Structure formats: C-alpha cells, structure tokens
Structure 1
Amino acid sequence: MRSAVDVDLALLGGGGAASLVLAALDRHGVRDLRVAVVDPVHRRGQDRTWAFWGLPGDDLEPLLSARWQRVEVVTPAARRVLDLAPLRYAMLRSGPVYQRAAEAERRLGATRVHAAVDDVRDDGHRVLVRAGDGSTVRADWVLDSRPRPPARAGRTTWLQHFRGWWLSADTAAFDPARAVLMDFRTPQPARGVSFGYLLPVTDRYALVEYTEFSPELLTDAGYDAALAGYRDLLGLDPARLTVREVENGVIPMTDGPFPARPSPRVVRLGTAGGATRPSTGFTFSAMYRQADQVARALAAGRPPTPAPAYPSRHRWMDAVALRALDRGSVDGPAFFDTLFARNPAQRVLRFLDGATTPAEELAVMRSTPLLPMLAATAGDAAHRLRDRLRPARPAPPTPPAVRAGTPPHP
C-alpha cells in the first residue's frame, strides 16, 4: 500500500474542466494550496475542439485558433448571415489548453497521480480517494469532472453525437471570415435533428462536421457517409482535399439531474456537474465559468462551490424543448430557424449560454410555436407529477464515447 498524499484540493479527471481549473488557480494567484490531480492519462496535444461565443479580450484570446464575427445559419428555406458584434464566435483546440494547465500545475507544485479513481469516501470533514495503483489521496475538497450518467433517468434522453474531419485543400476552398454555425440541409433522421457546420481556420484548412441530436448513435460507416454527403453539399471537391484529423464525440442531452454536490466536500464540474445545456449540448462557457468561480472562491478562502451552471428556469425550458422535439410536435430545423429569424443573434446566443434576463426569455419563448410548446409544457408537468409518485428510474449507462468537453456547435 502506498503512502497517502495529503492535499487541500484534489482534481479527479484531467480533461477540459480540470485544465480550466488549474489555469484559473494560476490566473488568480493561488499559490499556497496543496493540489493533486488524479487521472490515468496525462493529456496533451489536440484531442478535441471547443467553440463558444463571448466578448473578445479575455485570457483565452491568445490560445484561439480562429474567431468569427459573422456566422451563417442555413435551412432549406433560407440562409441567414448573423452579425454577432460585439460578441465573437471562437474556436479553441485542446493543445494550448492542456499546455497552459501543465504550466499552471508546475507553478502550483501539484502532485500528479497517474491512475484511475477506484473509490471516493467523504466523511464530511475530509475526502479519501483511492486510486487504481494502490495510492490514496486525502483532500479537504474534491473537484470531480469524470463523465457519469445522471442521477436518475430523464423524462427525455437524447444524445448529441458527431464526427468531424479536419480538411486541408490544395487550393483556396474556404472563406476564413465566415463560419457556418448550423446547416440543416442535411437529411433529417426519422427521430431527431441533424445539421452540418463548417469552421474555417484559413482558406485552405477547416473543420467540417456532421452532428445529430437523436436517441441512437450511428455506425462508423454512417458518420462517414453523412460527412461525405455534407462535404458534397458544400460543393467541396474531394479530389482536392485531404483529411488530416478526425474528431468524434457523444454528449448527453437529457433533463435527468446531474447533482453538482453529491456529498459535503465533493463538487462535480463539467458535464458531470450540469455544465452541459440539455437542449443544445453546449458546455464550454459554463465549464469556464465554473473554473473561474472555483478559483475566486479558493483565492478568497471560501469553499470551491460554483453557482449552478444554468438557472432552474432554463433547465425547465430545456426539458420542455427536448420533449417537444422528441415527440415530433415541432420540426427541429424550423424551430432553430425561427429562433434566429425572430430574435437578435446576440439574444439567442446569450439564451443558449444561460445568460439572458427573464424579459429576454419571454421574447425567446414567444418566438417558438405556441401550441406545440404549450402541449409539451403540459406533458412535462404531468410527467413530473408521475415522477413524484413513483420510485426514481435508474439512469441509462453512459455511452463509451462521451466526452467531458463540448463540440464546436450547439
């Protein structure tokens, strides 16, 4: 049995959420904290891509691969060019994030345990973490970002699943000034919503991706066929393109609960802590907020407990929207097209990030189909009542490809 490591803070999992926490601790000048990171993989390089919107000039700006102030939302009926100013849509690849986290880890003098977590015991005073290599970590606080299913099955459970190709072209093929945020001209699944998008880094290098919101995953051949179809729809010549990298991911879209505080001294972050927006799969902005709030609290000597990732009213609206899409009472492409057609782009983006006021949310709700959404609201209320009157159902197992981060699209 190895000797125990005693720390003030233990991070379980070393992906995007933990990397952002390490960087935030460094940014806020936390230096007297004993930190341990428990993860079997020491992450480095490009293994995922995040995209998000916000005001330019934050500390992530030097790490970005690309940024856009104009994006397109395309449906079979219309092509909308959205001016996001003063916001911008930004692409962040994982390599610079992991590198910054590694530098912060060195400055913090953190202890790294290269093993999976076997057990976590919280007695209300300290937390004992047992790792697969026989080591143990005793911590005052634990931040756990390991992927996990919700505490109970949701009333609606979908997945956001996607595959992307990083394409290089032998001649200029892309417009680096404009990204395609959502393109619903893709063939729609029988139950769900699909779209493609295009994020150009240069005129010869871009990420092209196919995404579905649906209950079931595709086969490898299915994703490749869908991607090839979308590439052709964009008018790109496969003979002049080379696939340099492939990205895959699965993210839960469910109104099942993800408790952010499962025990007194364990705090969950990332998707495990409710950072994924159920109706869209967006995660990065909430994950970044969580990291900043944790670091600010620790710098001030307070417990590292971030605020809820989204207001409770947003989680309710997500449950209603998911139900309406799942029951087929609203058409997915038309639903998203209407949101952008009847609202300023900045309002929609703030809404998707959980940053709108109640007045703005009323405006968003008024722009959705009234009768189907009222029916979904009534159905959701009835389902909630049934849930109160019967035992909780177990949550479905987490798909093997679930990622703690988020893809560069809704």
Structure 2
Amino acid sequence: MREFDAVQKEIKRLLGQIPDTERKKLAETLERLESRIHLLEHNYNRAIRDRAAVHSLLNKSSNELIERYQTIFEFSGTAMAVIEEDGTISLVNTHFERLFGFSREEVEWKKKFPEFLDESVKEYIVGFHRRRLSGDETVPHYYEAKIITRNGSTREVSFSVGLFPGTGRIITSILDIEERKRAEKAVETAQKKIAILNSITRHDIHNQLTPLYLQIDMALMHTQDPVLRESLQKIERIGQNIQEQIEFMKLYQDVGVKSPIWQRVADVIRTATAGIPLDGISQEIDVGELEIYADPLLQKVFYNLVENAIRHGGKLTHIGFSVEEDPNGVAIICVDNGAGVPAKEKEHIFERTFFKHTGFGLFLSREILSITGIGIRETGVPGEGARFEILVPRGMFRVTLPNTLIERAP
C-alpha cells in the first residue's frame, strides 16, 4: 500500500495541471480504484489467515492419525512388523520383541525378515513376497509357518500380511499358535485312542450278539408256548437294535476326527461314485473348478446321494451335479429323474431315526457337512425326481486353489 500512496500523491500533483472537468472524472476513477484495492487487500489477508488455520487443522489431524495408528500397531495383541521391499525390517512392536527375543535396536533397519524363518518354510514365504510385489492377487494373505527365535528354537505361527498401497512395503501380524498346535495334536491323539476303544467295544458286543441269536433260535425250536415265543422274538428284536446301534457307531466315529481340508468337488464326486454300478444311468458332473473346505469324509456325502438315488429312485436314468449361486454363497445341486422324495418324508430324511435298507447315510452326510458350516436340504418335486442342495457359505468355497503350502478358511 505504501507504493500505492506514493503513486496517489504523484497523480494528485499531476491533476493540478489538468482542467477541472477532467480532473473531477479522474478523481472519481481513482477513488473507485482505491476502494477495490482495499477490498482485495482485505480478502487476501483473510485468505492467508484461513490457509494458516487449515494447515494447523491438517497438522493436528495428521498427528492425531499418526498417534492413533502407532497405538494400534503397539497394542494390537500380536507381534507386528513393517518390512521394506528388499525384506529389511524397518519397524517392530513390543510383542515382536517378546516373541522373537530381539530388541527393536537389534532388528530395525538391521535384519531382514527371512532370517527369522525356518528353512522348511523360507523358500515359499519369500516366493509369496516376490509375487505380492509383482501384483499377483492370488497370493494368500493368511498362512501358517515356523519361525526361529533368538535361542534357536522354532515356534508355530500364523502370518496375516498386507501391502501398503502404492509401495513395496508390507505390514505383517504374527500370531503365536504353538499352544494351539499342541492342543490340536493332543486332541488328535485322544481321538485315535477313543476310536480304538470304540472298535474294541463294538467287536466285543458283536461277538456276544452272535451266540445270543443262536440261543434264541435254539429256544424257539424247542418250544411252542406262544407267550414264551413272543418273549424270545422281542429279545431277538432288541439284539437287532443293538446291532444297528453298533453299525451306526462304526460309521459315525470318523466324523470330525481329521481337520477339514480344501477339496476339488469334481474329483471328490468322481472318486465317490467310481465303485457304484450305474447300469444304464448317465451321470453328469458340471461343477467347474469349485473347491470347498470340508471334512475329509466329504466323499461319503456324494456316495450316499448317488447310492440313495439308485436304491430308492425307481426307474431313474440320469443323475447330475451342478453349481448355482446362493444369497449366502453357492449351492451344489444333485438332481435325478427318479421317483423323488415323498412330501411327508422331506423333513425327516436327515434325522438319525429315519433310514431305509442300510442305515444312516443322509444323517451322516448332514453331520459331515455341518462341521464347516455347510448345510443340505431336499427341494425336489415328488414324482419328478430328487433335488439335493448342498449350501456352501462364503469363505468355505473358492474357484481356484492358490499355490500355497498351508491355507485355512477364514
């Protein structure tokens, strides 16, 4: 404004040399110009103040955000580390120090993450890192592996890994699952022992039933007393019930014993039905590359579906498997063109007390599937064929199998 004042004085001096009429016009113009300049100056000063206020707010917000994420990083409850593109560890938290036995000062910008991996897993985890940096979206974000601690011991851990957008830097959360693995092994050992005990018990009971039936037959041959014969026949039926329970125990004891695994549905169906005579019956398997996370006994489910269709479907000529989208995931469909399931039996075919011919196939199928949250229902039209829908929820199915050593369902 000082420059403007000097200019204004010089203009006024020059105005004294101009006729009154022209001088008056010029004076009015200068006044309007001066008002506009003052307004511009005011707006400029206000913009400067507003910009300073915005910068102050942004700095405050940025600091608060940084502090918030630092708190999450430090108190997440698991070991965490930030790893640079070349594998160098640039940041760790207190839980990392406790798990690995090294201080921050010994690790940050001094050690590379592969140094902490057991040789049995190092190659494939480093491979994951390379693929992740190359933009490969099939690399799993979660996997299990072994690490080496400061004292040279190994521990089972699970990794959860994410990539910072637009960078080659990753952040990983490392959960110690050593105790869980020990517990799983203990449970597996106990289950094996229980299975052996069940087998011995079943065998002993079965051995006692054989002479029991023999004694009943002999007693029936030597008496014509109707009351006694009726009692003997009741005892025989009780023995048959006991034998049925033994058969059920034999089938049921393996359900849930082994951990669920990813299984390619098409392969499971083909293996399950390979030993079933399909005389004159066509079979179509159209499930693509679908895989589901299920109990290893999944094969029995498809065996039971096909075996039941042949046994109870009447004059069926076709059995087909396909996949459809479901609001909660996908549905594996098994249809046939047989007699179908009577309406009054639809709600009971999956119950333990409902069975025909050989026993508990559909009940066991439901139990096998339910281990990983998979359901099954029958929706066919009686007289037009059966339609079984295996309902696989999200997280329990995938289309392709990533190249991983270990992967569990979410």
Q: Same fold (TM over 0.5)?
A: no
Q: What TM bracket, shorter-length normalisation? A: under 0.3
**Structure 1 or 2: larger strand share?**
1
**TM-score computed with the length of structure 1 as normaliser:** 0.18
Higher helix share: 2
Calculate the TM-score normalised by the size of structure 2: 0.18
**Larger-gyration structure (1/2):** 2
